[in-house]
Chains A and B, each alone.
Chain A
């Protein structure tokens, strides 16, 4: 697993470096009077007069740089997906997400996740992260590998309850890990009728 991670990391670095070199090579125009390398003629020798040419040249160069930047971002995205596919193949992948709605009756402090009685994630939330969740953000709190078959996931939520008191609740689910990737969502919602928070786990088939 470590070897895979190292390989992907090296591949990513190499890709970024390659793109950077390409960007430099494309953007480089020989300086006037400089000897051209391997018989290449300098660009400026055929260029139109200096007064009119620079804006168009700069525009082209800027477009090229933007293009290379986009390529780097796309390449990085592809490598990221490749890394995930290598480290967490679909037949063993389990991902757990966390979302929050309203949050009037519960101020989230931390979440602990156990799968088959083994702690796999423990996350402490800062005010900024809670704010992001309340604005509709979804956090991937766990990504790991589990064997095909039945598993039990238990999540513990800690924070401040309805009257500002310490509040700790748990929620559990038994899920069946099949051949494809498994996605679970921990949801914190307000149960207005009872004036208390509700913690549920949704199994995304």
Chain B
């Protein structure tokens, strides 16, 4: 049925392309829908054995980074976030890495290999990921001092660091 004439095949290709574009737009929308809203609260186990609750960091700027060891961009992003954590920790920045890996041991090994100094929390059930409309990894969310989501970035590219810096500095100044 689909092996029709060349114009018909072309039409199907266009339809497929448009569907893909719509899907990408929907994903971006789901993540950016969080902007300006209260960040969903969560409490998660950490790899260091401590439990952490987002609402306990009220009054500080919190960067939440969702990652998984199988997401290639996470390897590039995590050292950048570690540097940001080291630089701005004293100014009031808290960086929380949230791993959505199913295997806690593998997530721990990966985090250790990346030498990150910020706490890694485990969300193997993806309950927190669902609250944050997580659809692609990595995803970074910045929460201001009053608990409002102010910045969302889905995926990571090498040129994204200045955008992170600008957003963090602005929130720290408030």
**Chain A residues with a Cβ under 8 A of chain B:** 109-110, 123-129
Smallest CB-CB separation from B45: which chain A residue? A124
Near A by CB (< 8 A), chain B positions 4-58 give: 43-45, 50-53, 56
- The CB with the most chain A CB atoms within 10 A, among B50, B51, B56, is that of B51
What is the number of contacts between chain A and chain B, taking CB atoms within 8 Å? 20
Mostly, the B contact residues are strand
Near A by CB (< 8 A), chain B positions 41-95 give: 43-45, 50-53, 56
* Assembled-state Cα–Cα distance A127/B48 (Å): 13
User: What are 20 A-B contacts defined by CB distance under 8 Å?
Assistant: A109-B51, A110-B51, A123-B43, A124-B43, A124-B44, A124-B45, A124-B51, A124-B53, A125-B43, A125-B51, A126-B43, A126-B50, A126-B51, A126-B52, A126-B53, A126-B56, A127-B50, A127-B51, A128-B56, A129-B53
Q: Measured between C-beta atoms, what is the minimum distance from B70 to chain A in Å?
A: 26
Interface residues on B, range: under 10
**Chain B residues with a Cβ under 8 A of chain A:** 43-45, 50-53, 56
Q: Which A residues are CB-close (under 8 A) to B52?
A: 126
- The CB with the most chain B CB atoms within 10 A, among A124, A125, A129, is that of A124
Q: Measured between C-beta atoms, what is the minimum distance from A66 to chain B in Å?
A: 24
A126-B51, A126-B56 known; 18 other A-B pairs, CB under 8 Å?
Answer: A109-B51, A110-B51, A123-B43, A124-B43, A124-B44, A124-B45, A124-B51, A124-B53, A125-B43, A125-B51, A126-B43, A126-B50, A126-B52, A126-B53, A127-B50, A127-B51, A128-B56, A129-B53
